[in-house]
Amino acid sequence: MTNKLGGSLKKIGVLTSGGDSPGMNAAIRAVVRTGLYHGLEVFGIMRGYQGMYEDDIFSMDSRSVANIIQRGGTILKTARCKEFFEPEGRKRAFENLKKRGIEGLVIIGGDGSFRGAQKFSNEYDIPCIGVPGTIDRDMAGTEVTIGFDTAVNTAVQAIDKIRDTMDAHDRVFIVEVMGRDAGYIALHSGIATGAENILIPETKTDIEAIIHGLTEKEKRQKLVNLIVVAEGEEFGGADEVAKVVRQRLPKADVRVTVLGHIQRGGSPTCEDRLVASHMGYYAVESLLLGRKNVMVGVINNKIHYTPLDKAVKEKHKIGQEWMKIVKILAS
């Protein structure tokens, strides 16, 4: 029996792995319903590679993904599996797939998830298609990742509220946003909220320039300043930056806010739902067309396929023109 695209693929699995991101449920929904449309049997794998290892796998139908597109998190849950790092763990996971006849996998996650998929596929010849689900937007081969837009909007809404109280009290606020080793959330939310300084891992932090700028504004009695810091920034985050500012400018009223995991939760934006639906659909189409070990990305609003190993080795770069824009707009 062949599927609607003429291939012999009959059964696929879908899992979410690594950090959760808003929009993962929309991607799961797209994978399941696209698979069913093509006559495939679709299996959900709970808690990522941990569920594959522990045989926590179940058959999904259209009702399994009803009323989930608007929900944050992931109905398949996610976990990190130490056993999957070892050959014995991957062998056990393969045997659990084999007994159900699962012939292909859609992996919704980030770089660590894709590394695991690449190694597993090479060992057992199971085609894996990656769907970039990460708020960090740190994958090569795509200009968007599932969850980034929601995380940025969450950060912007929070920083807008912080700016209200900052203006009322003439304070220096240092706000830390997530992003691990990538500064995209800090860059986008900082520009969108009019931050005077944005500190990201991709550029060297000139703390002296920041202190000089704050000193000049203190002389002009302008003590209202917003500094947005990515958690992976070289100083070690907002608290460390605040220590330096307080030491050098003892008159300044410096406050720190760490936004933390609120950026990973919440109902996904329209953009993230569209991106996730688009990528989930093309992930299944890729398996049906015989593609193997690629990540589904979007470049210039068109679907783009990148080998998994390239997607995790090459980070999406932040252009220096963005930092020039930040400097000019904050002047």
CB contact set of 329 (below 8 Å; sequence gap of 6+)? 191, 194
pLDDT tens digit sequence for 59-91: 999 999 999 999 999 999 999 899 999 999 999
Q: What was the pLDDT predicted at 252?
A: 84
Please state the residue numbers annotated as binding site: 19, 29-33, 80-81, 110-113, 134-136, 163, 171, 178-180, 194-196, 220, 222-224, 231, 255, 261-264
Amino acid letter at 255? R
Our answer to whether residue 138 is catalytic in this structure is no
CB-CB contact of 74 with 24 (8 Å): yes
Share the mean pLDDT of the chain. Answer: 91
Instruction: Please determine, for residue 165, whether its predicted confidence score (pLDDT) is greater than 70.
Output: yes
Q: Could you tell me which residues are annotated as the binding site for substrate?
A: 134-136, 171, 178-180, 231, 255, 261-264
Domain residue extents for the chain: 11-147+268-313, 149-264
CATH number for the segment(s) 149-264: 3.40.50.460
* From 30-34, 127-131, 174-178, 220-224, the region with the lowest mean pLDDT: 220-224
- Is residue 1 predicted with pLDDT exceeding 50? no
Residue 316: the pLDDT is: 64
Query: Helices in the chain by DSSP H: which ranges?
Result: 24-37, 48-54, 87-98, 111-124, 148-169, 184-192, 207-219, 238-248, 270-288, 308-313, 320-329
Asked if residue 219 has pLDDT above 80, the reply is no
Percentage of the chain with pLDDT > 70? 94
- Tallying the residues shown for the chain, one arrives at 331
Cβ distance 323 to 203 under 8 Å?
yes
The answer to whether residue 7 scores a pLDDT higher than 70 is no
Average pLDDT over residues 93-106: 97
Q: Which positions make up the binding site for ATP?
A: 19, 80-81, 110-113
11-147+268-313 maps to CATH 3.40.50.450: yes
Q: Would you state the pLDDT for residue 2?
A: 55
Q: Which residues contact 154 (CB under 8 A, 6 or more apart)?
A: 259, 262, 263, 265, 266
58: number of Cβ within 10 Å? 12
Task: Out of 20, 55, 125, 136, pick the active-site residue.
Answer: 136
> Does residue 331 or residue 310 have the better pLDDT?
310
Instruction: Label residue 318 by pLDDT band (50, 70, 90).
Output: confident
- Determine how β-strand 294-299 pairs with β-strand 302-307: antiparallel
Rounded CA-CA distance 56/92 in Å is 12
> Fold match between 11-147+268-313 and 149-264?
yes
Residue 267 has pLDDT above 70, yes or no: yes
- Mean of the pLDDT values across residues 138-154? 95
Give the distance from CA 148 to its chain's centroid: 6
C-beta neighbour count of 328 within 10 angstroms: 8
pTM of the predicted structure, to 2 decimals: 0.93
| Closest by Cα among 274, 305, 299, 295 to 111 | 295
For the annotated binding site for Mg(2+), the residues are 111
